[in-house]
Amino acid sequence: MSGPSPTKGTGLSEDLTSHRQTITEVLAAIDAGEIAAVGRHLCDDVTVLFGNFDPLIGSAAFVQLFGQFTSSLQSVRHEIHHVWPTANDVDILVATMTAHYIRTDGRAVSLPCCNVFRMSGARIAEYRVYMDIGPALAAQ
């Protein structure tokens, strides 16, 4: 027996569309170097996990980390391939992408990346980044 799709014609589809838009806006703000704009999309107590670094708590810590990270590169661009909700919770989304970096020595580095976002209302409550950032930050 099948019921209505959780992503078509219901409030859930509106949530999913809104969540995808938030994720797209956050990544675009990072790419544009508008790190303060990222903070507006985060819960005040957001948990950020980036690779094997220690977790960060709070939007101010996130803004500080990404400000330092992006200042060590000439540019960042996220090429989003897919954003999917998890099967059991439309507030958890998985984004697959390629992160394109231009290092300060001018070398281009493109890396596969998978991010997991847990939403709380219209904001990101948990932001997990799964990638090996090493090649982008290697000694130049």
* β-strands 123-130, 56-57 pairing: unpaired
Domain count, the chain: 1
The answer on pLDDT for 123 being more than 80 is yes
Kindly report the CATH number assigned to the domain that includes residue 38. Answer: 3.10.450.50
For residue range 56-65, what is the model confidence (pLDDT) as tens digits?
999 888 888 8
Residue 57 domain flag:
yes
For residue range 90-113, what is the model confidence (pLDDT) as tens digits?
899 999 999 999 998 999 999 999
Residue 47 domain flag:
yes
For residue range 2-53, what is the model confidence (pLDDT) as tens digits?
444 444 444 567 888 999 999 999 999 999 988 888 889 999 999 999 888 8
pLDDT band at 120 (very low <50, low <70, confident <90, very high): very high
Q: Which residue has better confidence, 71 or 115? A: 115
Residue numbers of the domain that contains 82: 11-134
The Cα–Cα gap between 85 and 94 comes to 6
What are the structure tokens assigned to 96, written together?
Answer: 């697959």
Residue 93 domain flag:
yes
Residue 91 domain flag:
yes
First to last CA, the chain: 59
The answer on pLDDT for 137 being more than 80 is yes
Residue 6 domain flag:
no
Residue 140 domain flag:
no
Q: State the pTM of this model.
A: 0.86
Residue 139 domain flag:
no
Residue 3 domain flag:
no
